[in-house]
């Protein structure tokens, strides 16, 4: 048995005590050819100073996260599974399984695993500037991100998502793209983190019946209302983050305009009046390139349209960002959870899947009070179709 297969068999044994274990083992066997590094528990104890409270980066549903330093000088972040967390165990296994498949500059790097008795740990590269929300939604941090930095972050997130959707060994839907799950390294390079809720996209299925879980303000309406999960759900979440980066305002607790229930409606309202630059946060005025800002507002609105079929895929988003097209289609009204929608006759195949709790990578772990909430509901689908939203419908959930 090869070294990598031997390690993966050891890893599997920690989790294969239930009736679903066969599927998980088969899934891991398919990626066994890729070498994974196993950290000894003693090394992580030393790196984190025996998991000293002073090394703790945060605490969340998964368990605590500690900063550490290896003997070779590398700084690491160590996620330690809480022994009392059933959901955390599911997310731990899911994140380890998915991240074993990916390698990209704009996706957080999983360095390895550790299993030691009841202790189960994931080891990541440490990302110096932590998560985007810590800077974007705090007055003392927003001025650190000028327009050049924010534009680069937008492109970085887009590149990471394009990799996950089209270039990874299997298409991966992240399902929880938000500011608190975007980490920034020492050069302000954006890295997508927290794959506990991510799902593989089955090529042989169009959709399944499922339970929904995600973060208020970032979930696509067709996913919230009908449980339809596709790459276009990630595109919607990306669009929300783009508009948050431009405005410095959080979609889930928007209160700028009493006529608009959220950031998306406000941005659409100003866009239609030819006032896109008024969406921009005041600290960006001196560094902003007006044409780029207006283009990014339009991209954000295109990505958050009610109908997922009208949203661009991430490949097209990157083309738009890179080539600055002279003409671009007009966005239709944005969608948001709680609008009642009718079904059109055609829609590209989509899939939904069950999930667990929501949070960010460090600050889900940090216990932030910036509105990182989880929403869960039951949903089922009966036909493959696309949504058209009635904005005056019932609102079962606030975004």
Helices (H) and strands (E) in the chain, counts: 12, 14
The residues annotated as belonging to the active site are 176
Contact 395, 355 (CB under 8 A): no
Contact 106, 192 (CB under 8 A): yes
Write b or e for each residue in 4-19: b if 16 or more Cβ atoms lie within 10 A of its Cβ, otherwise e. Answer: beebbeebbeebbeee
Contact 360, 214 (CB under 8 A): no
Cα(23)–Cα(41) distance, integer angstroms = 28
List C-alpha distances in Å: 39 to 42, 113, 121, 218, 277: 8, 6, 9, 35, 50
Cα(71)–Cα(245) distance, integer angstroms = 37
Beta bridge partners of 115: 120
Angle at 89 between CA 175 and CA 356, to 5 degrees: 30
């Amino acid at each position: 048995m090869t070294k990598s297969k031997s390690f993966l068999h050891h890893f599997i044994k920690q989790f294969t005590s239930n009736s679903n274990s066969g599927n998980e083992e088969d899934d891991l066997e398919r990626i066994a050819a890729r070498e994974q590094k196993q950290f000894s528990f003693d090394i992580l104890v030393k790196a984190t100073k025996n998991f000293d409270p002073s090394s703790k980066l945060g605490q969340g549903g998964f368990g605590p996260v500690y900063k550490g330093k290896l003997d070779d000088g590398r700084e690491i972040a160590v996620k330690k599974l809480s022994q009392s967390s059933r959901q955390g165990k599911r997310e731990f296994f899911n994140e380890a399984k998915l991240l074993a498949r990916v390698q990209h500059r704009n996706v957080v790097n999983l360095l390895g695993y550790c299993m030691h008795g009841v202790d189960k740990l994931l080891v990541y590269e440490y990302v110096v500037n932590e998560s985007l929300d810590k800077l974007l939604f705090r007055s003392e941090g927003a001025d650190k991100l000028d327009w050049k930095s924010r534009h680069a972050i937008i492109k970085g997130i887009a590149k990471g998502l394009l990799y996950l959707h089209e270039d990874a060994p299997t298409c991966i839907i992240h399902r929880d793209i938000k500011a608190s799950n975007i980490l920034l390294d020492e050069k302000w390079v954006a890295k997508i983190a927290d794959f506990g809720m991510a799902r593989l996209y089955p090529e042989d299925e169009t959709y399944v019946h499922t339970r929904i879980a995600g973060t208020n303000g970032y979930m696509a309406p067709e996913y919230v209302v009908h449980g339809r999960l596709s790459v276009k759900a990630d595109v919607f979440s990306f669009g929300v983050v783009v508009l948050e980066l431009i405005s410095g305002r959080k979609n889930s607790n928007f209160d700028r305009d009493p006529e608009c229930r959220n950031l998306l409606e406000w941005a659409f309202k100003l866009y239609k009046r030819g006032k896109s630059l008024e969406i921009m946060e005041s600290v960006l005025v001196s560094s902003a390139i007006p044409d780029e800002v207006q283009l990014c507002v339009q991209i954000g609105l295109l990505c958050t349209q009610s109908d997922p079929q009208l949203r661009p895929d991430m490949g097209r988003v990157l083309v738009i960002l890179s080539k600055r097209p002279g003409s671009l289609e007009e966005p239709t009204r944005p969608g948001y959870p709680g609008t009642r929608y009718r079904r059109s006759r055609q829609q590209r195949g989509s899939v939904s899947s069950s999930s667990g709790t929501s949070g960010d990578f460090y600050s889900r772990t940090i216990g932030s009070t910036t509105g990182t909430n989880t929403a869960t509901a039951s949903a089922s689908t009966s036909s493959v179709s696309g949504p058209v939203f009635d904005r005056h419908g019932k609102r079962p959930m606030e975004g």
